[in-house]
Structure 1
Amino acid sequence: MIDGAPAIRVAEVNARPVRRDGAFVLYWMIANRRARSSFPLERAIAWAKELDRPLVILEPLRCDYPFASDRFHRFVVDGMADNARAFAGAPVLHHPWVERRRGEGRGLIEALASHASVIVADDSPIPWLRGMVRAAAERVPIRVERVDHHGLMPLRATPRAFPVAHAFRRFLQKELPAHLAAWPNDDPFAHLVLPRLRALPREITERWPALDRDELRDPAALIARLPIDHTIGAIEDRGGHTAARARLAAFLEDGIDRYPNRSHPDDDASSRLSSWLHFGHVSSHEVLGALGARERWTPAKIAKKPTGTREGWWNVSDAGDAFLDELVTWRELGAVRCAHTDDFMRWEGLPAWARETLEQHARDPRPALYDRARLVRAETDDPVWNAAQRQLLAEGRIQNYLRMLWGKRVLAWTAHPREAFDLLVELNDRYSIDGRDPASWLNVGWVFGAYDRPWAPKRPIYGSVRYMTSESAKRKLRMKRWLAKWS
């Protein structure tokens, strides 16, 4: 009986057999890029133990993913270096590989599959990652599994997409406690004994060589030679599990008590964990576990009956309630929608009422019209918006409240709401370190009425969609220091 992960998180991608006399078990690490707290990793270890075979961990990075740039590449390669250190003392062979020219990775999975017994791949709600695993599974002669560890709630335990957070919150509060009984292993290699594989076959290592120590230690020279966008530079934050845990510790020490008032840019108390969560460098279970340790909380403290409210169900502090609602309800709301629909980031996926009201006001006069180039360069007449855009360009993120305002203003500066929608998706995915992710796509959709309700009175341009202005933000929020930094 193969275990290593809850059955609800494991899906067979093809109907091929396990090759029991294969040379190794292959874990294809593409979404959960960490050496601990990982159900997919545990599933691969379980197969290796069952078959008494070595475990090979392939951690690849293509150069033709959407909006590939120095920003994203550096964060991922930092994580590869962190993983290389973590795997060095474990009975596994870690193969961190970076594609150096477009198409170079073609054939890699098939070559590894020709020697492997079974392939365990990360599952993900992100469409192109799922599609990549599905396409590879059709080409190989052995069993391919995908294992989900996107969040606390298994994606396959959700019946449908949910239109609003309240409905999903009620579902979570009813169903999640049973799934919290299965907790990932913080150290899956403790006392683990597996056969060791000294190296992959030469025909693989010569064509697809792993990154060497110098490239992992200082990847800048390597990244500079790759066919990706070099105009979008790396950010100050470093990728990897070590950096993620350090950021989590700093937030729990100095930020979470102020989290309910995190909207003030001058005192940004947001967790800033979204980038590491996006790249799988830390798990939601680790974050919840660290918060639980701080508050002496266990799952046994969860309220017995679902309430659907944001406060009180977890039985943690008010700050903990606010944070967990973002980490679990809102983050996983987007993931569930992305997993169950194919119109997640298309105009047609917005609620009918929102599309209708925005279309009705599409011909309303705009206060100004800015083309993409001027918006990217932060050349508008709104100093608050310009500051938010400059923060995005430099740090790959925007302070949480201002990210919503940033989107609302673009809606007023484009000739048609459909144009604004496509532009915001592109800007988010190209520049934000947590872009190309269901959670940040949810934020963009919210700008246009997704997960929200109609608001009265109707306003020009926005119709019944929620309205926000920079003037009101300046009145409500402390932002003088933030404006001075980014103006």
Structure 2
Amino acid sequence: MSVPEIRIRQLNKAPLKGDGDYVLYWMIANRRTRFNFSLERAVEVAKGLDKPLVVLEALRCGYRWASDRMHRFVLQGMADNRANFEETVATYYCYVEPEAGHGSGLLEALADKACAIVTDDFPCFFLPRMLDHVAPRLPVSLEAIDSNGLLPLRAASQVYPTAYAFRRFLHKELPPHLLEMPKTNPLARIKLPELKSLPKEIIDRWPMATDEMLTATPEVLADLPLDHGVGPASFDGGEEEALKALRRFFDTRFERYADERNLPEEEVTSGLSPYLHFGHISVHDVFDSIARREEWSVEKVMDQKPTGKRAGWWQMSETAEGFLDELITWRELGYNMCWQRDDYDQYSSLPDWAQTTLDEHASDPREYTYSLEEFEQAKTHDPLWNAAQTQLVTEGRLHNYMRMLWGKKILHWSDSPQDALEIMIELNNKYAVDGRNPNSYSGIFWCLGRYDRAWGPEREIFGKIRYMTSQNTARKFSVDGYLERYGNQKRQGALFD
């Protein structure tokens, strides 16, 4: 077995069926062909049974926040996957629901002919509930494979309250897992029996997506029951675009990352978050690229003392270590929360101290309060906040530093902290391509105290929650260019807050 056992989760008690026609990989989160433990596991099972491999990638239209933006991004990834699977031994079957509920029964029909099913283990959004619902109804073995992060989800048996505590745990436990990397191309030099065709009754009832569908043009999307008010993002989806973003980061942004990543006017971040969310690129792929760039080997950290410090432990450059702290510590901290707590997206999951201080200040007078609709339409008194919201709505992304300010001011201008949380989740999940992800929930809840500590002086509305203002942001960084780009106005003195 090349896939580590800790990454394999058995979801039902049904057996392998040696007389089935194929092994099915149900691709629901790791939508890629590279560095994919799930695909690797499906190949393992197919080789062991000497059976063909079928890859099902389906896209339903009835999920919450379904829109042209999200659908287009996934469809572009499906187009890449169809091309990438074409010259392999696997049979790629992509299906796009034309209307809500049309895909009902497809998985069960494929399962009737399958020896076993392998799928992706993703701890967020509707996917865990979907797997829990379908697993007992399938007649064959269903395994969920964790290909989410460098650290397997189940390597940590507790929820870590701070990045420092989690980082210290990573320093101690992560190195052995770095020796268990997924294969770059799980289908390279693989020999499996060929599947002549999928059952006709299945293809007739659930036709494969056409080439035209996978173009994801406005005309194609207009025929689907989606929110057409949320238009395409300013960037494309798919494995090829993800790899281009990675190369662009290293070629033009990496050397500037440490000094300029927080500057609103600059574009020096990796831009990989949407591709990581939809599984178009793997964190292992990104880490492998950094390790090769830094001429680094895992032996450098095998005997390192756990420090919990952000710098120095990896024995890489300052820029590389700063980026890895975001990619690994902060990103996987959110996954650590989501797989262990069903209430990861609920107000009740905030630390006790944060709930206490917010409750104590819940009735504080607010100079400004805005409704969800006013926030959504960027109709606040603050031009810098409005510019951030405009970027989110028009581009499908939000500058990393501005995302923190964006959330803090929603808390400041909402009727209650509970309302603020609902507004942040709604706007982020509706418009951000990287929303509905453990990492994005970390960012939202950080604005309310998760992974943080009590701060002084105690303030109205915020209590002991860390305080941020547009005024301070404009003093720390130049924002005129950001305002011109997204707000069509320059800063004029103390115009904010």
TM-score (norm 2): 0.96
CA distance in 1, matches of 2:99, 2:212: 20
Give the secondary-structure state (helix, strand or coil) at the position aligned to 2:452. coil
Equivalent residue for 1:205, pick from 203, 206, 215: 203
CA offset at residue 425 of structure 1? 0.9
- 1:25 Cα deviation after fit: 0.3
CA distance, structure 2, for counterparts of residue 225 and residue 353 of structure 1: 49
State whether residues 234 and 396 of structure 2, in contact with CA within 8 Å, keep that contact through their aligned partners in structure 1: no
What is residue 273 of structure 1 aligned with on the other side?
Answer: 272
Who is 2:107 aligned against? 109
Stretch moving more, 263-272 or 51-60: 263-272
What code does the residue aligned with 1:463 have?
G
CA separation in 2, counterparts of 1:197 and 1:46?
17
**Distance (Å, rounded) in 2 between the aligned partners of 1:425 and 1:260:** 29
**In the alignment, what sits opposite 2:295?**
296
Using the TM superposition, give the Cα deviation of residue 4 of structure 1 relative to its aligned residue in structure 2, in angstroms: 3.9
Equivalent pairs counted in the alignment come to: 485
Kindly report which structure 2 residues correspond to 1:120-199, keeping only aligned pairs within 5 A, or say none. Answer: 120-199=118-197
Give 3-state SS (helix, strand or coil) of 2:339's partner.
Answer: helix
Match of 1:84 in 2: 82
Deviations 1:357-414 (A, max 9, x none): 1111111111211111111111111010000000000111111111000011111111
Pairwise mapping of residues 26-45 of structure 1 onto structure 2 (< 5 A)?
A: 26-45=24-43
Q: Which amino acid aligns with 1:234?
A: P
Contact between 2:239 and 2:280, CA under 8 Å: does it hold in 1?
Answer: yes
1:206-225 superposed matches below 5 A: 206-225=204-223
Q: Over aligned residue pairs, what C-alpha RMSD do you find?
A: 1.0
Quote the Cα distance in structure 2 between the aligned partners of 1:371 and 1:131: 31
Per-residue CA shift, 1:262-306, capped at 9, x if unaligned? 111112311111000000000011001111111111212226211
Structure 1 residue 127: Cα displacement = 4.8
1:46-95 alpha-carbon deviations (Å, 9 max, x no partner): 11111111100000111111211111000000000000010000011101
Describe the shift of the 1:198–1:217 C-alpha distance in structure 2 as closer, same or farther (beyond 3 A). farther
Is 1:356 equivalent to 2:356 in the alignment? yes
Structure 1 partner of 2:9 = 11
AA partner of residue 463 (structure 2) = G
Sort the Cα spacing of 1:8 and 1:466 in 2 relative to 1 into closer, same or farther, 3 A: same
Q: Per-residue CA shift, 1:322-370, capped at 9, x if unaligned? A: 1000000000000110000111110100011111111111111112111
Q: How does 1:240-251 map to 2 (within 5 A)?
A: 240-251=238-249
Q: CA deviation at 1:218?
A: 4.5
- For 1:180 and 1:58, how far apart are their aligned partners in 2? 29
Shift of 1:478: 2.0
- Secondary structure of residue in 2 paired with 1:266: coil
Taking the aligned partners of 1:247 and 1:290, their CA distance within structure 2 comes to 12
Q: CA deviation at 1:109?
A: 0.9
1:222-261 aligned at under 5 Å gives the runs: 222-261=220-259
Q: 3-state DSSP class of the match of 2:54?
A: strand
- The answer for unaligned runs of 5 or more in structure 2 is 488-497
Q: Which residue number in structure 1 is paired with residue 326 of structure 2?
A: 326
Contact 2:75 2:215 in 1 (8 A): no
Q: What CA distance in whole angstroms lies between the structure 1 residues aligned with 2:312 and 2:223? A: 52
2: CA distance, partners of 1:199 / 1:265: 52
| Gap change, CA 1:198 and 1:478, over 3 Å in 2 | farther
Q: Which runs of 5+ in 1 are unaligned?
A: none
Name the amino acid aligned to 2:412. A
Shift of 1:174: 0.5
The aligned counterpart of 2:493 is none
Secondary structure, counterpart of 1:191 in structure 2: coil
**Letter aligned with residue 273 of structure 1:** L
Residue 296 of structure 1 aligns to which amino acid in structure 2?
E
Counterpart in 2 of 1:306?
306
What residue is the counterpart of 2:346 in the other structure? 346
